[in-house]
């Protein structure tokens, strides 16, 4: 087997992953402006488009046709991610473009996924921002769970709130499933619990942990509970038009704590800004957004909190 080159940088970057279930919540917009503000604060930042089935993050940065993409790394045209980073108009901000023209990358092999996760931490940067694809596939969840900070974006729409909760729920079950891989009986129990109509009548993660404890597995329950607590997602409500809408994330927070036993670290919101929609339609770089924009200022405050 060919050995991976020794490309570990002197400092390991902090990895932030932005997810949220189905599309339409504005994950890519939030990812782009988050990355811009980190770069503006002097942090060497790399923004990565991990929407492997429909990458378009480059368009939000005003790059029409990326000269290098993740496909070039996966197919070993380049040995390290550093070599496929593209400079942007913003100082300290580089982009790794996804491969929207390669359908096979929409569902990478396990080894390809592990390779990507490993190499994200080898990029020579202070921060690496992962803009995840839509949905809750295992690949999306594994990228999300591998990050130092896990950010979930939603809008005030009821369906988006529901999708955000489902995303967090599936993340918790994915973490539990991976941990139980060497214990077939426990893995089978977790798989059973994921079915809302299971015969054991386990409806929530909290009930699953109670079932494990009552079955004589207190030590196992304690380990699993600690792992769940370590997920600690940050919830961002995007495109909020008033104070009531800004509190939409509170619903997810309450339900996640009650049924999933996971805590959220921050509750943040980004104001609705019609200028963003116009810039996307015109394919104008979002980093040129008017800095008097409330949305722009809101994301600055979010970055300050996360730092």
Give the whole-angstrom CA distance, residue 179 versus residue 221: 12
What is the Cα–Cα distance from 152 to 206, expressed in whole angstroms? 21
Nearest to 30 by CA among 206, 290, 185, 235: 235
| Domain count within the chain | 2
19 and 128: one domain?
yes
CB-CB contact of 105 with 117 (8 Å): no
* Nearest residue to 153 (alpha-carbon basis) of 143, 164, 144, 142: 164
Between CA 183 and CA 198 the distance in angstroms is: 20
Q: Do 142 and 282 have their domain in common?
A: yes
Q: Is residue 8 domain-resident?
A: no
Domain containing residue 58: 14-147+273-306
Residue 7 lies in a domain: no
Identify the pLDDT of residue 101.
Answer: 54
- Predicted local distance difference test score (pLDDT) of residue 105: 58
Are 116 and 227 members of one domain?
A: no
Q: Output the pLDDT for position 2.
A: 41
CA distance 15 to 118: 11
Residue 114 lies in a domain: yes
pLDDT in the model for residue 10: 60
Q: What is the pLDDT of residues 100-133, one digit of tens each?
A: 555 455 567 788 888 899 999 999 999 999 999 8
Whether residues 278 and 178 fall in one domain: no
Domain assignment of residue 259, yes or no: yes
**199-215 tens-digit pLDDT:** 999 999 999 999 999 99
Listed as ranges, residues in the chain with pLDDT below 50 are: 1-9, 103
Write the CB contacts of 263 (distance below 8 Å, at least 6 apart in sequence).
229, 232, 257
Same domain, 115 and 128: yes
Whether 37 is in a domain gets the answer yes
Separation between Cα atoms, residue 193 and residue 206, nearest integer Å: 11
Decide: helix, strand or coil at residue 17: strand
Q: Identify whether residues 112 and 69 lie together within a single domain.
A: yes
For residue 81, give the CATH number of its domain. 3.40.50.300
In this structure, is residue 71 part of a structural domain?
yes
CA distance 27 to 18: 6
State how far the Cα of 27 lies from the Cα of 23, in Å rounded to an integer: 8
């Amino acid at each position: 087997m060919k050995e991976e080159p020794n490309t570990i940088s002197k400092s390991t970057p902090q990895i932030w992953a932005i997810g949220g279930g189905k599309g339409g919540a504005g994950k890519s917009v939030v990812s782009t402006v988050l990355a811009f503000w980190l770069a503006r604060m002097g942090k060497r930042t790399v923004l990565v488009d991990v929407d492997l089935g429909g990458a378009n993050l480059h368009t939000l940065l005003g790059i029409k046709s990326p000269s290098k993409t993740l496909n070039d790394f996966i197919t070993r045209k380049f040995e390290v991610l550093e070599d496929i980073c593209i400079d942007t108009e913003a100082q300290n901000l580089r982009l790794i473009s996804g491969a929207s023209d390669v359908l096979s990358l929409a569902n990478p092999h396990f080894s390809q996924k592990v390779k990507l996760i490993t190499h994200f931490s080898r990029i020579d940067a202070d921060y690496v921002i992962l803009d995840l694809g839509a949905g809750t596939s295992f690949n999306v969840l594994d990228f999300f769970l591998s990050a130092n900070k896990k950010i979930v974006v939603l809008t005030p729409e009821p369906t988006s709130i529901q999708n955000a909760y489902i995303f967090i729920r599936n993340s918790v079950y994915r973490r539990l499933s991976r941990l139980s891989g060497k214990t077939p009986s426990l893995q089978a129990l977790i798989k059973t619990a994921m079915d809302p109509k299971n015969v054991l009548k386990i409806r929530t993660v909290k009930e699953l942990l109670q079932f494990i404890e009552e079955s004589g597995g207190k030590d196992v329950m304690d380990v699993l509970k600690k792992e769940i607590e370590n997920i600690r997602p940050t919830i961002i409500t995007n495109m909020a038009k008033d104070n009531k809408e800004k509190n939409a994330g509170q619903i997810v927070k309450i339900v996640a704590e009650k049924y999933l036993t996971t805590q959220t670290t921050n509750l943040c919101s980004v104001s609705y800004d019609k200028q963003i929609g116009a810039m996307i339609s015109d394919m104008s770089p979002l980093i040129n957004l008017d800095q008097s924009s409330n949305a722009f200022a809101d994301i600055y405050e979010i970055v300050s909190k996360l730092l």
